[in-house]
Amino acid sequence: MNIDQNKTYIEYTKEKKWYLIDANSENLGRLSSKITSFLLGKNQKIYTPHIMNNIKIIIINTKLIKVTGNKEKQKIYRKHSGRPGGLKVETFHSLQQKLPNRILEISIKGMLPKNKLGKKLFNQVKMYPSNNHPHSVQQPILIKLNKI
């Protein structure tokens, strides 16, 4: 009996691929779920849940993200300093004016695994509130979210 027959071979690539996503007038939940599945590698034929892909995603125009219904006025983001009376509450609209990337960060982090792999995967996402980004040297591939 050959021992090598019982070993599983997992194929993965080491080359980095850069993708560009334009978040202009996209819905927050749909955008973040598509980004998450793309980060995890679910669009590839060799998807393995515990292996990290070498995919980098650049998201531009994060300040132009939309939400449906009355969420712009009613959605609340909370953070707490850990001290008594340290609760800070902001609405979607006010947070979008101050820190537009934070909204997408919270949404994507909530959809990734809650372990070391999820933290490493989140570090592969770069977000910018406008069209300008410093990653043009990497020649990112533009992704149309309707086709994913």
Residue 77: inside a domain, yes or no?
yes
Place of tokens 């300040």: 63
Average model confidence (pLDDT) for the chain? 91
Q: What CATH number corresponds to the domain at position 88?
A: 3.90.1180.10
User: Is residue 101 within 8 Å of residue 83, measured between CB atoms?
Assistant: no
Structural domain includes residue 6? no
For residue 133, give its domain range: 15-147
Q: What total number of domains does the chain contain? A: 1
Per-residue pLDDT of 89-99, as tens digits, reads: 999 999 999 99
Q: Could you tell me if residue 9 is inside a domain?
A: no
pLDDT for position 50? 87
What pLDDT is stored for residue 75 in this prediction? 95
Residue 64 is assigned to a structural domain of this protein: yes
Residue 5 in any domain: the answer is no
Q: What is the pLDDT of residues 17-50, one digit of tens each?
A: 999 999 998 999 999 999 999 999 898 888 888 8
Of residues 144 and 63, more confidently modeled? 63
Nearest to 91 by CA among 31, 102, 81: 102
* Bridge pairing between strands 17-22 and 55-60: parallel
User: What is the value of pTM for the model shown?
Assistant: 0.87
